[in-house]
Amino acid sequence: MVVPRLPRLEQRVVETVRNALTLGTTLKQIAAAIDEDVEKVADCMQNLSSRGKVVRMGRGLWILKQYERIENDPEFISPAEYANRFIAVHGLHISDYHSGPITFSENHHMEKPIQRWAPYVQGFSASFVDEMLQRFSISPGQTVLDPFAGSGTVLVAAKMKGIDAIGVDLVPLMSFMARTKTEWDLNVEEIRTAFRGLNWAQNPTIQSPTFLRMWESHFNKDVLRSLLIIKQSIQDVENPRIKNLFRLALASILVDNSNLKRSPCLGYAKEKNVAADAPFTTFSKKVDDMIQDFMYVKGRAHGSVNVITGDSRSIRYEPESIDIAITSPPYVNGLDYIINYKIEMAWLDMVDSYDDLSKLKDDMVACDNISRAIIRDFSEREDTYRDEWLDDITNRICSRIESKAGYRRRDMHNVVRKYFDDVYHVFRNVYEGLKKEGRFAIVIGDSLIAGVYIPADLILARVGKSIGFKIESVEVARSRRSGQRRSFKLRESIVILSK
């Protein structure tokens, strides 16, 4: 008699998926766990899925149907529960923010002068910064700080209003963008002359544009040639500030002209066909926009701007010298900025090797690509930031990862702890630099890690409180989808602290 094979396979598959609980497991992991062929497991999963027993969540992970909604897991602590705890402990309700768009796309799509020069997925909107400056009556002559300045949204918005600004960013590309976007005393005629002088009739002599692996697949061959000609022609520009302007224009057209896209992480785009001369047209358009924007800001009151390339965890500000700080730190377990912006940094010769890229990553606020050695050193330290909510969250992450084989990083709980420790150090420096009663506005998103919810907005508010800040409000600006679990709604909030 032939023993029917499928039901037994089904049983073993279902058992493996059950063990993964709400974390989910991939076809490959299941196949490895039960020593079966991946194709057979895939067929079996399709079968189970058509009968409603299993479902696929984001990133190729499968879970039992009963865990489709993570809230059904009895151990799950939901956003609503945290909100109640927050009211109980801090006497504060989470409210809504109604004052307009918060994401960077507004700067780009609305063609905001200067802000539009360099597209930056992780930035926030200039109108949010304007609203904060207005809400807290910040006027010309006062000073605003952004310790995670990114592409300089805060600095440009402040400068436009005659307000002075200080911005810090660790990544040289970001501080370069911020600095170039806030140097406005250039002569428009000189820019035009320099642009006309760019020699695009030459052959490229630069052989490989960057040290990056796969650089040949980043661009179509003819597009690459055009980009190399532009890069080469910029090298002859004599005025260093105009040269920087052109370098910024080149950096900001690279991804558009490549076979890649950011969504938000850098990856290959499927159907993209860039014309060979597109770099010349997009570069010219960019320089044209820049010239127009210089004319727009000419004759307006300008605040002075100081952009520092450095690590905000260790940069100290003159005590009680800053009127307001407005910022958005990297998000917990968020994007790897170094991988995402490596093309621009390599093309602008800001980094020469993968070692340079890793060194930068090691000093960044911890993200889930941080090196294991850094996390090992961190976990051995005893003087790190502690908070009972955070302890509970990291213990949960730890035990959930232990219960499931094949999780990406087994030290994830320490990555999360380090994230908050890093931000704690930045906040301490901001506190010292702020004037009495000065505000600190923070845009932050929450996260779901290993099936554990992290209310980063509330925890950052608590970080602030532990330093001496008063928590003034936590306002939800928009909701987002979790990449890992599309059914779970995450949020982006504004936390307002005052000294």
Ligand X SMILES: C[S@@+](CC[C@H](N)C(=O)[O-])C[C@H]1O[C@@H](n2cnc3c(N)ncnc32)[C@H](O)[C@@H]1O
Please give the Cα distance from 393 to 458 (Å, whole number).
13
Considering only the stretches 13-21, 214-222, 257-265, 327-335, report the one whose residues sit in contact with ligand X under the rule CB under 6 A: 327-335
Q: Which of 48, 156, 158, 170 binds ligand X (CB under 6 A)?
A: 170
Which positions from 398 through 427 interact with ligand X, judged by CB under 6 A? none
Task: Please tell me the distance from the alpha carbon of residue 173 to that of residue 409, in angstroms, as a whole number.
Answer: 28
Contacting residues for 349 by C-beta, under 8 A, at least 6 apart: none
Query: Cβ closer to ligand X: 73 or 311?
Result: 311
Of the candidate spans 49-57, 145-153, 236-244, 260-268, the one that interacts with ligand X by CB under 6 A turns out to be 145-153
Query: What DSSP string runs through 185-218?
Result: ---HHHHHHHHHT---SSPP--SSS-S-TTHHHH
Q: Which residue's CB is nearer to ligand X, number 71 or number 311? A: 311
364 binds ligand X (CB under 6 A): yes
Cis peptide leading into 204, omega within 30 of 0? no
Examine residue 16 and tell whether it contacts ligand X (CB under 6 A). no
Nearer to ligand X, 151 or 233 (CB): 151
Q: In whole angstroms, what is the distance from residue 265 CA to residue 340 CA?
A: 6
Minimum distance from CB of 153 to ligand X (Å)?
3
Alpha carbon distance 414, 190 (integer Å): 52
Answer yes or no: are the C-beta atoms of 120 and 112 closer than 8 Å: no
Among 210, 226, 252, 312, binds ligand X (CB under 6 A): 312
Under rule CB under 6 A, residue 447 binds ligand X: no
Q: Does 365 bind ligand X (CB under 6 A)?
A: yes
Segment contacting ligand X by CB under 6 A, of 49-57, 184-192, 324-332, 466-474: 324-332
CB of 248 to ligand X, least distance (A): 14
Q: Which residue's C-beta sits nearest to ligand X?
A: 150
266 lines the binding site for ligand X (CB under 6 A): no
Interacting stretch for ligand X, rule CB under 6 A, among 18-26, 164-172, 215-223, 491-499? 164-172
Q: Among residues 311 and 387, whose Cβ is nearest to ligand X?
A: 311
Beta strands 434-445 and 266-268 are unpaired
CA distance 261 to 278: 16
Question: Is residue 175 within the footprint of ligand X (CB under 6 A)?
Answer: no
Stretch of 14-22, 131-139, 328-336, 374-382 lying at the interface with ligand X (CB under 6 A) = 328-336
- Candidates 112, 247, 313, 485; binder of ligand X (CB under 6 A) is 313
Please measure the distance between the N-terminal and C-terminal CA atoms of the chain and give it in whole angstroms: 79
311 binds ligand X (CB under 6 A): yes
Do the beta carbons of residue 264 and residue 120 sit within 8 Å? Answer: no
Q: Which of 16, 25, 103, 122 binds ligand X (CB under 6 A)?
A: 122
Q: How far is the CB of 279 from ligand X (least distance, A)?
A: 24
Task: Specify the DSSP class assigned to residue 66.
Answer: G
CA dihedral 181, 185, 187, 193 (to 10 degrees): -30
Using the rule CB under 6 A, is 330 a contact of ligand X? Answer: yes
Under a CB-based contact definition with an 8 Å cutoff, are residues 369 and 378 in contact? no
For residue 43, what are its two tokens? 């067929």
- Please work out the total of residues on this chain that contact ligand X, with binding judged by CB under 6 A: 24
Token duo for residue 413: 């709980």
Instruction: Please enumerate in sequence order all residues whose Cβ is within 8 A of that of 404, keeping only pairs 6 or more positions apart, or say none.
Output: 19, 20, 21, 23, 25
Task: By CB under 6 A, name the one of 24, 113, 150, 464 that touches ligand X.
Answer: 150
Length of the chain: 499
Q: Does 130 bind ligand X (CB under 6 A)?
A: no
Judge contact between 46 and 9, C-beta under 8 A.
no
- Between 21 and 490, name the residue whose CB sits nearer to ligand X: 490
For the CB of residue 101, give the shortest distance to ligand X in the complex, in Å: 13
User: What is the torsion angle, in degrees rounded to the nearest 10, for the CA atoms of residue 341, residue 346, residue 349 and residue 352?
Assistant: 120
Q: Is 368 in the site for ligand X (CB under 6 A)?
A: no
Select the residue interacting with ligand X from 164, 169, 336, 492 (CB under 6 A): 169
Q: What is the DSSP letter of 103?
A: B
Residue 328 found at the interface with ligand X (CB under 6 A): yes
Residue 245 contacts residue 186 (beta carbons within 8 Å): yes
Nearer to ligand X, 221 or 316 (CB): 316
Alpha-carbon distance of 14 to 26, in angstroms, equals 12
Of the candidates 22, 25, 142, 153, which one interacts with ligand X according to CB under 6 A? 153
Could you say whether residue 363 binds ligand X (CB under 6 A)?
A: yes
- CA distances (Å), origin 498, targets 96, 368, 420: 19, 30, 19
361 binds ligand X (CB under 6 A): no
Q: Where do contacts with ligand X occur on this chain (CB under 6 A)?
A: 104, 120, 122-124, 148, 150-151, 153, 168-171, 174, 311-313, 328-330, 337, 363-365
